[in-house]
Amino acid sequence: MIFEYLQPVSENIQKYVESLSNQSLGKKVVMHTDTDYPNLENISLAIICANENRGADLENEDYDFDNFRRNFYSLFPGNWNKGIADLGDVLVGNQTSDTYFVLKTICAELIKLKIIPLVVGGSQDLTYALYRAFDNLDQMVNLVAIDNKFDFAKEEKLQSDSYLSRIIIEEPNNLYNFSSVGYQTYYTSQEEIDLIDKLFFDAYRLGEIIKNPAIVEPIFRDADIISLDLKAIRSADLGNETEFYPNGFDGREICSLARYAGISDKVSVFGIFNQFYSKNENHLIAQLLWYFIEGYHFRTYEYPFEEKTNYNKYIVLADDEELVFYKSNRSERWWIEINYNSIYNKTTKKTLLPCTHDDYLAACDAEIPERWWKAHKKSFY
């Protein structure tokens, strides 16, 4: 029973919600209270707050998430019909490893129930716990981090800026692909950039995405976990009063990415980490969750191999490679076919990689998409 690992939503928030308009989001969410557990049978999304900051070398303050919840519940939902639950706050363990175990257990159970955990708070090393939630699901995992740098630091213990090293090295290794979205070069060593290339991972600089946010939509469409580090947002928009980051995504751009994450048919976990615990940032965090949920309600659950009548197939010869593209008739989104030849990985022999219309146009000009090359090379390892 996952509720033994969770503290109920505070009475202050329960009273606050009672004072809200009947049309507000607070009146649409089922809460974990001292007297009642939410029935998860009709729930599609579950909010979980985590006050575990020791991975960032911060003492766990006696912090509650009431301010975030007030901002979130005072918003008005869109035309939503999916059940949302607030499961409360994760019980913090004596050691960070205890908290990882608790969060892993909760998320694994929710994923099995086809409920998406929406994790708010704590340092970004909690992404490791989200990743480990897939250990018994017999699948490879695609992880996307919206971050201003790569978290490959070499500390001996797990830290918020080194959790990726442990994910890559530690067994069982279920990581198939990692994508960095919004990194800033001056925070990133050349050694880390070279490692990304060597492992055939994807990385998109902040400037590239600001210029054309649509280039990362296929990345989100192929993700299982999306981990958002709030340091990727410029301080002026976040209201960060603790550490100052002059560059980053603005409020509109980061909300667009959250919506992309929600629209993805595949995303099973969404986490927002490295809060600065200032009152102002909670407004944006609440809206980020709102946009994810809004995107979730626009999921089309399409996959071109399922219904041939729902897509068009295009075959392009580029650089002696026969590339097969599929275009959805419903959403006009694109995929490219990948044939996997490795006997060592857990993927199927033939699958589809999300791509863009520009990838198809480039192939028509005999230019093979970079993501196709990386996936093709990775299949031999």
pLDDT by residue for the chain (381 residues), tens only, comes to 899 999 999 999 999 999 999 999 999 999 999 999 999 999 999 999 999 988 886 655 556 799 999 999 999 999 999 999 999 999 999 999 999 999 999 999 999 999 999 999 899 999 999 999 999 888 899 999 999 999 887 666 567 888 999 999 999 999 999 999 999 999 999 999 999 999 999 999 999 999 999 999 999 999 999 999 999 999 999 988 778 899 999 999 999 999 999 999 999 999 999 987 777 899 999 999 999 999 999 998 887 666 667 899 999 998 788 999 999 988 899 999 987 654 344 444 678 899 999 999 999 999 999 889 888 887 665
The tokens describing 303, both together, are 């996959």
- Spatial distance between the Cα atoms of 375 and 338, rounded to a whole number of angstroms: 7
Pairing of strands 83-90, 43-49: parallel
pLDDT at 174: 93
Bridge partners, 324 (sequence order): 315
The domains located in the chain, with CATH, are 2-296 (3.40.800.10), 308-378 (no CATH)
pLDDT at 307: 67
DSSP helix/strand/coil, 313: strand
Cβ distance 238 to 247 under 8 Å? no
CA angle 355, 357, 358 (to 5 degrees): 95
DSSP state of 141: E
Bond before 172 cis per omega within 30 degrees: yes
DSSP helix/strand/coil, 309: helix
Pairing of strands 83-90, 6-7: antiparallel
Alpha helices in the chain (DSSP H): 11-18, 66-73, 96-112, 127-132, 163-169, 190-198, 206-211, 217-221, 235-238, 251-263, 281-296, 357-364, 370-378
- Spatial distance between the Cα atoms of 279 and 292, rounded to a whole number of angstroms: 21
